[in-house]
Structure formats: C-alpha cells, structure tokens
Chain A
Amino acid sequence: MREIIRAALVIARRDYAATVFSKAFVLFLLFPLLPVIAGVGFGAMGASQDREALHPTVAVIAAPETAAAIGHAGARLIERLGPRALPRLRMVMPDGAEAVQVKRLLADGGGRGVVAVLTGGLDRPTLTGSRGGIGSVGGDIGLVLDSARQMRALDGRVPPVVDVVERPVDRAAGTDRSGRTLIARAGQFLLMFLTMILAGMLLSNMIEEKSSKVIEVLAAAVPVDAIFLGKLFAMLAMSFTGIAVWGGTVLTGLALVAGQLPAVPAPAVGWPLFLVLGLAYFTTLFLLLGALFIGIGGQAASPREVQMMSLPVTMGQMGVLAFASSSLGAPQSAMGIAAALFPWSSPFAMLARAAQGPALWPHLLAIGWQLIWVAVIVRIAAGLFRRSVLKSGGGGWFGRFRRRGMKPAV
C-alpha cells in the first residue's frame, strides 16, 4: 500500500505540474468565472433598470382634496412597509368625460405607462385596468384606500407611526428551517457544478498516456492501481486549485457587497464544520466520480470516443443529483436513506444532512463508507484497464463484448 501511495504521488505530481503550468489551465480557471462575472455585472446593471421598469404606476383621477388624502395614506404606508412595497401613485385631475380620460391614460405609452386607473374617490373606488394589472396592484390600492378612509374617520387625530423595537436573536425555528433547506440545496448544486466542470478532464485523463505510449512505461514500473490513484490525486489537487481561485474570487466579490447581503442562517452543524464537511464530501464525490470516469475514459481510444461518453455521464450526474435532492425534506425516509447509502449520491445527501441536522457521527460513517467505495472502484477500474487496454487476462464478458463491438463490419 505504501508503494502504491508513493508511486501515485509521483504520477500525481507529474500530472499536476503538466496541467497547472499549461495555458489551457488558465483558460480552465477563467471560463467558469466569466459567466459569473458577466452575470453579476450585467445583472447589477439590469436589476436597477428592472426595478424601475417593474415598479407599477397607478393613475388616480381625483379632486385635489381626495388625491391628497390618498397620497397621504400611501406615504404613511410606505413609511411602514418600504418604498417599493406599494405601486407608485400618479395623481391626475379630472378632465372631461371620466371614461375617455381613463381610456387615454391606459393607452398612454409615453413615459411610465400606468397599469390601472383609480376613479370614484374614497367612497366608490373603481380600479380599471388589465386583469394582470388589477391582480398585481388591486390589494395594495385597497390597503391605501382603507388607510385613507380610516384617516378621514379619525379626522386629523391619526396616531403617529408606531415605533416597533427590533430585537434580533440568533435563531428562530421557522427561518432556520427554510434557510437550512436553502443551504442544503445550494451546497448540493455547488457540488454538482464543480464535479461537472471537472468530469470532462477526468474522462480524457488516460488519453495522453495512451496516445504517447507512456502507459507501457508506467504499467511496467508501478501497479495500475497507483496510476489511477495518481491521476485521481492530481485531478483532486487541480480541482482544489480551481476551487481556491474561484472561491477566492467569489469571497472577494461577497466582501465588496457584504453590507447589502441578506442575513443567512447558519447550517445545523455550524459554518466552519459545514465548510469542512463540504470539502470532505467534495473530495469523496470527486474521488468516486473520478475513479469511475477514469475507468470509463481509460477504455476510450480517442478524444472523439471521450466526447461520446460525456453526454451519458453528464446525464448520469444529473440523475444522481435529482435522486439525492428528492429526499431533502425527509432524510429518514426510505428514499433519503437510499440516497445516503448509494455511493455516488451519498455525498450530496450527507451534505444536505449537515445543513439540516446537527449530528456528526453519520458523517464520519458516510465518509468512511464513501472511501471504501473509492477503493473498490479504483480496483475495478484498474482491473478493467489491465484487461481491456493492456490486454492482460481474458477480459471477461466485458472484454469479449468490447472486442466484438470494435470489429469492423465485413
């Protein structure tokens, strides 16, 4: 075992250096960041424009006194609910036939178009507009009118806005539950995203050795298990390099907008442990998928064959994520336990558990379980590689099947 690890590290070091000091790796690091940077940049620009465009305006046709009462009530509610909680009110003096004026206001495309027009004052209010427009602002306008009528009834003796003292606490069951579900989903998505980015690299990993004939030199010098393990270690180190760069960029971005971020509840095991477990599950998932992908990719004779393998592999990854996500709210259900036991969905399921439950021992068990499977897959993949690529052994049913498949049609 010691010799296998030693040899694996020699191979890993070579692979890591060969990849990291290449131009392609710089592109590999930058590409996932480009859509994020573009998304954040364009999103920020677009968001301010969207906010303006999406904030609806309601025209209020009313005499000055009524308009003032409605406007005052609206302002009071905005003071309590926030500036974007209610539709914008545009006061319009009555001008001729009401129906005509309403029609003209609704048709006016210049400036900020109105979604609805309020007529009839406080006593017989009527809201005219499209069904969607009325649906989106009807409740809010009703609230404003209720408030205006109450203020009129109090006849100037309106009490000041109540000053609610806010006393934040660390935990509240309701917010914790929804927040942790969100963290669980985000964690699973991040795992999926990172492994998907690296899947292609894993699949094509043995092609270099096979095309440059180095595989013969390696196979004569070290056990095939060590070759696979070395490649896995190298890919893992590369992925950590990528995560460090991408994570650093994201953290820098977050630090810049730290004040504007909503408070996020902590996962059940706490942030530090959650991050450690996240890294541990990423490692085991990466090793599990990597062992499988290198094994599958090792059978490919050319980059074209690797490309053909990529699609079913990606579909498989999506399926595993869906399986693990399906039991997010019910980890103790049969589905939840199955997701935690099935090697490739286990890291997803267990990371979600770390977000949702405080128990630690299941994680130790799960990580051990997943590592056992890594060893099993590496052994199987190495055996398959020896049989089918190095032509050692009969190849079993798979070797016979593959050879039959490779024979040209006569």
Chain B
Amino acid sequence: MDAIVAEGLVKSFDGKRAVDGISLRVPEGAIFGVLGPNGAGKTTTLRMLLGIIDPDAGHRTLLGEARPIRAAHHVGYLPEERGLYPAMTAREAVAFMGALRGLPLREGRVRADALLEEAGLGDSRLKPIRTLSKGMAQTVQLLGTIVHRPRLIVLDEPFSGLDALNQGRLEGLIRGQAREGVTVLFSTHVIAHAERLCERIAIIAGGRVRFDGSVDEARGRLRPQVRVRTRAADGAWRAALPADAVTEGNGWSFALPESGVEPLLKALIDGGAGIETLSIERPGLHDAFVAIAGAAVAAELDAQKEPVA
C-alpha cells in the first residue's frame, strides 16, 4: 500500500505556476527523497501533500485519507522554516507538538523526557527554547515530529542548518524510524543524503517530476564513467578514445562506449599508450541528478553545494 499518492497536483501563486502536475507514489515503510534545486516546488508539493495548502488541481491521499488533516495524528512534519515558541521549555515544546497530533500531554512529557535524554539534551529539557542553540532547537523540533510515534514522517530540508555531527545523527534517526516501519519522506537539495538514505527518489525541477524511481535507476540513466591514465602523452592510440573524452592532466575521462571497455583497452595496449590506471565508475546520484534536471539546474546546484558529513 502507498502511504502517499499524488496525482496531477498543480499550484500557482500570483499567476505563476509553482507546481505543474506533480504525481508521486510513496510506498509504506520507504525512505523517499524529493530532490530538486531551490525553487523547484518541493516545499509547495509537501505542503499540498500535508493539506496545509490546497492544490489548484489534482488530488492526493495521505495514509489513505483524501483529506490529509484526517491523517494528522499519524503524521509528523518538520517544516523548512523551523518554528517553536521561544518561551516554551524543550520538554513542553516536544509534548505540545505531540498533543497537537493527539498524544495526551502527560504521556507526551514522559516520552519527551526519554527522547531528549536519548538525543543528549536531557540537561536542557527544562530550558526555554530561546536559550538553546540553533542546532539544539532544531533537534527539539525534530523530536516533536516523532514524539507521537507517527506512521509517516515528512521532513522538509531536514539537514539544512545542521553541523556534520548532527547531520549524521539525523541520518541515523531516519534509518531508525524506517526500521520500525515508519514511512519517511524528505526533501533536500543535498544529493548525498538522499543517495545514502533513500530507496526511492523523485527529482523535481521547474515544478515537475523529472524522475521517479530508485536511486539505482536514476544512476542507471547515465553510462558508467571510464577514467584512464597513460604513461605516454600522445600517440596513434589517441584515435581510439571517444571524441567527447575530457582531458584531466595526464588522463582522460569519458562515458563507457556502448561496445564496452575491451576494444578500447586493446587499442590502447596495441598503440603503446602504457596504461597506468584504468577505472570504470558507476555515476553517482549527483551526476544523475545533474543530467536529469538539466544544465541550468546543475549550475544552480554547484553554487549551492554543501559539505557532507
């Protein structure tokens, strides 16, 4: 069964189409990544899926409910713009977010204490949010997202603003939730997280789904990259290299020819190139993403590239 089904979602703001017919299916228990550059329509899509805003056209179901708010007790949501009441204590904030989703406050406080302790924030549980660091506050909000033990967690850009250590912790938390059968849907523009975590991804650009499938399928859209390093700098053997081979110092890189690597190897050996190293690399999700989302998206992505833990 699918935890989320969206068909033909359309949303415009001030006459500009932010989401243009997005369709998605997120299987129950999966870790599903929505990838796309800034302004691709990821947040608008998530907000429509959760029922915060209504689509102009199309329809969606969340845990089988056509009105997403009806499934709210089984959903946890971390919005892109983090929001907590500054005067609330960490413990109350977590319990309050659980209470909004139907968890009795008393039970919420007990669970909040345990979750905060587990996250290393036990000493801060009675401190007001305004006194916590940004990362700590973000962790508090994340714990508030899972305190009521939801069946589906939706995280909008959950890694942004976190240091490498906390990014690693968050990845662990997402994996832990998935192990317990929770469906996790998260958006990101940092591909490495999706590559490590997701079973399935959707690449959104310009308000449309450009790819929907497994990470392997996405990578499979590109041919493997061949990297070869030779002792000789020039020779007749160079004619055997594909025309689009890119020179990298004393080496070349190019997409694996359809004929395979063997004829190429033979030509290089026979031509006396003197092979120093040769590797065939499967393309990463980043490469697939760049190829799928297009050159314009690639330029945007390079500009936004973040260090990954």
Chain A residues proximal to chain B, CB less than 8 Å: 6-7, 10-11, 13-14, 18, 22, 208-209, 212-223, 386, 390-394, 403
Instruction: Give the docked Cα–Cα distance between A105 and B50 (Å).
Output: 90
**B99 located at the interface, meaning its Cβ lies under 8 Å from any Cβ of chain A in the complex:** yes
Q: Return the chain B residue nearest A219 by Cβ.
A: B52
Q: Knowing A390-B52, A392-B53, say if A10 contacts B96 (CB, 8 Å).
A: yes
Task: Give the interface residue-count category, chain B.
Answer: 20 to 34
- State whether A216 and B52 are in contact (beta carbons under 8 Å apart), knowing that A10-B99, A221-B72 are contacts in the complex: yes
Closest Cβ of chain B to A370, distance in Å, is 28
Would B51 and A220 count as touching, CB distance under 8 A? yes
Chain A residue numbers with a CB within 8 Å of B77 are 217, 220-221
Bound-state CA distance A106–B266 (Å) is 135
- Contact check, B51 vs A212: say whether CB atoms are below 8 A apart: no
Contact between A10 and B86 (Cβ–Cβ < 8 Å)?
Answer: no
B249 within 8 A of partner (CB): no
**23 pairs across A/B with beta carbons < 8 Å?**
A13-B105, A14-B85, A213-B79, A213-B83, A214-B83, A216-B52, A216-B79, A217-B77, A217-B141, A217-B144, A218-B100, A219-B52, A220-B51, A220-B52, A220-B72, A222-B72, A222-B100, A223-B69, A390-B53, A391-B13, A391-B53, A392-B52, A392-B53
Residue of A nearest to B87 (CB): A18
Whether B84 is near chain A, meaning CB under 8 Å from some CB there, is: yes
Q: A35 to B208, alpha carbons, bound, how many Å? A: 63
Q: A390-B52, A393-B53 are in contact. List 16 more A-B contacts (CB 8 A).
A: A7-B100, A10-B96, A13-B105, A14-B85, A14-B96, A213-B81, A213-B82, A214-B85, A215-B83, A216-B52, A216-B79, A217-B79, A217-B144, A220-B72, A391-B53, A394-B56
Residues in chain B near residue A386, CB distance under 8 A: 53-54
- Interface centre among A213, A217, A222, A393, by most chain B C-beta atoms within 10 angstroms, is A217
B256 within 8 A of A: no
For the complex, would chain A's binding face be called helix, strand, loop or mixed by DSSP majority? helix
Closest to A210 in B: B83
Q: If the complex has contacts A392-B52, A403-B14, are A212 and B100 also in contact, measured as CB distance less than 8 A?
A: no
Shortest B226–chain A CB gap in Å is 47
Q: Mark B56-91, 1 if CB is under 8 A from A, else 0.
A: 100000000000010010010101011111111000
**Chain B nearest Cβ from A90, distance in angstroms:** 68
B90-147 contacts to A (CB < 8 Å): 96-97, 99-102, 105, 141, 144
Output the least CB separation between B143 and chain A (Å): 13
- Complex: chain A residue closest to B130, CB-CB: A212
Please indicate the chain A residues that have their CB under 8 angstroms from the CB of B51 in the complex. 220
The 8 Å CB contact of A222, one of B53, B69, B141, is B69
Cβ 8 A contact of A220, one of B56, B79, B87, B105: B79
Interface residue from A212, A222, A223, A391 paired with B84 (Cβ < 8 Å): A212
Residue of A nearest to B154 (CB): A220
Q: Which of A7, A214, A386 counts the most chain B CB atoms within 10 A?
A: A214
Chain A minimum-CB-distance residue to B53: A392
Cβ 8 A contact of B85, one of A13, A18, A221, A390? A18
**Least Cβ–Cβ distance between A295 and chain B, in angstroms:** 18
**Could you say which residues of chain B place their CB within 8 Å of the CB of A14?**
85, 88, 96
Within 8 Å CB of B144, what residues of A? 217
Contacts of B96 in A (CB 8 A): 10, 14
Contacts of B102 on A, CB cut-off 8 Å? 6
Contacts of A220 in B (CB 8 A): 47, 50-52, 72, 75, 77, 79
- Is the Cβ of A216 less than 8 Å from the Cβ of B101? no
